Amino acid sequence: MTEMVYGAVPVRDGEPILPKWWRTIDKWAMSCILLLFAVGMLLGLAASPPLAAKNGFDSFHYVQRQAVFGVLAVIAMVLTSMMTPVMVRRLAIVGFLVSFVALALLPFFGTDFGKGAVRWYSMGFASFQPSEFLKPGFVVVAAWMMAAALEINGPPGKTWSFALCISIVLMLALQPDFGQACLVLFGWGVMYFVAGAPLVLLVGMAGLVVLAGTFAYSNSEHFARRIDGFLSPDIDPRTQLGYATDAIREGGLFGVGVGEGQVKWSLPDAHTDFIIAVAAEEYGLILVMCVIALYAVIVVRSLLRLVRERDPFIRLAGTGLACMFGVQAMINMGVAVRLLPAKGMTLPFVSYGGSSVIASGIAVGMLLAFTRTRPQGQISDLLGRSRAR
């Protein structure tokens, strides 16, 4: 009956999983993701040898580790993208619960690795950052709650999701990790807006964020130091922002040449948070614009495919994942060019880091699963029939 009312595309009964996955996946978005990982490996070859030498490792120690993380991330992305939306939701619930508990226990068992913020668990051979895995799980869980609230006599899912969001934001702010806290709040806000939130309420929330920022500035030395450094008209050339700004300026349009950059010898986070500065110095604005274009294609294509989706859960979850993915990239690059205060946030698939790369693989795998072509009519078809009647 549903197909008679809404229409459907033919379903190929008995079609093997792999051919069906290849036929329905967004190949452009997946290709852009793989290209981002390739760019990350290329920049890792340039940025990580100085750190490896400093720590007494082989020159390509971190590149080899990144390759292993990348292979795991691609496998996770492909396997997750093959799942149905129901399976993705179940995976997200389990992953969210585990990450939430791990985040809550960070103050007792976590470490800061000398960076002033307790964000990681040290496992000896590697580290684990719960917030990276928490983000995609939270987006899907919050979308599930909001979608349930849209049903007749449904639960107060929007209220539940808001309470969950605030609890996560508070735990992240206490680390302190204001960048991830803002990203989680942004992802929830986008989904809440798509779910039909009143504009007045969103404006009021923005005002509360400003008040919370003012309070954090007055009571957190870590937060105040970063804001003061951002607002200062002069850049201390011995700071990370100073080194990154000089590197981007020196790179110009075509860069100083492969291996000729100097910023990687000065920046302790050249292979992670400031990887785009290495790209700008050695390869110039051309490569930076290519990286921006890859992120834009992934986000825009995903949103265009989600616009045609009728299932509110898929539409909300996919929108939250796509927007959070794109905004994280914008924040990372915005910090490097001093458009935003320092956040300590990685560039998805490009920056070094096991938690970041693997969590990004899971997140985009969920996004690819939600944007796959499914046997359903489009919203525009449904609206057209309604007008005809």
pLDDT digits (tens, 9 = 90+) for 30-42: 999 999 999 999 9
Q: Which residue has the higher pLDDT, 166 or 234?
A: 166
State which of 170-179, 187-196, 212-221, 311-320 shows the largest mean pLDDT.
311-320
- As given in the structure block, the two tokens for residue 65 are 């580790």
How many of the other CB atoms lie within 10 Å of CB of 87? Answer: 12
Distance CA(133)–CA(98), nearest Å, equals 9
Q: Which DSSP symbol is given to 25?
A: S
**pLDDT value of residue 168:** 95
- pLDDT tens per residue across span 103-133: 999 988 888 877 777 888 888 777 889 999 9
Cα 104–chain centre separation: 21
CA neighbor of 67 nearest in space, from 103, 42, 100, 30 = 42
Give the pLDDT score at 3: 41
Return the pLDDT at 7: 43
Tell me the pTM.
Answer: 0.88
**Burial of 12 from C-beta contacts in 10 A (0-12 / 13-18 / 19+):** exposed
Residue 13 has pLDDT above 60, yes or no: no
Per-residue model confidence as pLDDT tens digits over 356-387: 999 999 999 999 999 998 776 555 554 554 45
Distance CA 371, CA 297 (A): 14
Closest by CA position to 357, among listed 41, 113, 118: 41
The span from the CA of 54 to the CA of 51, in Å, is 5
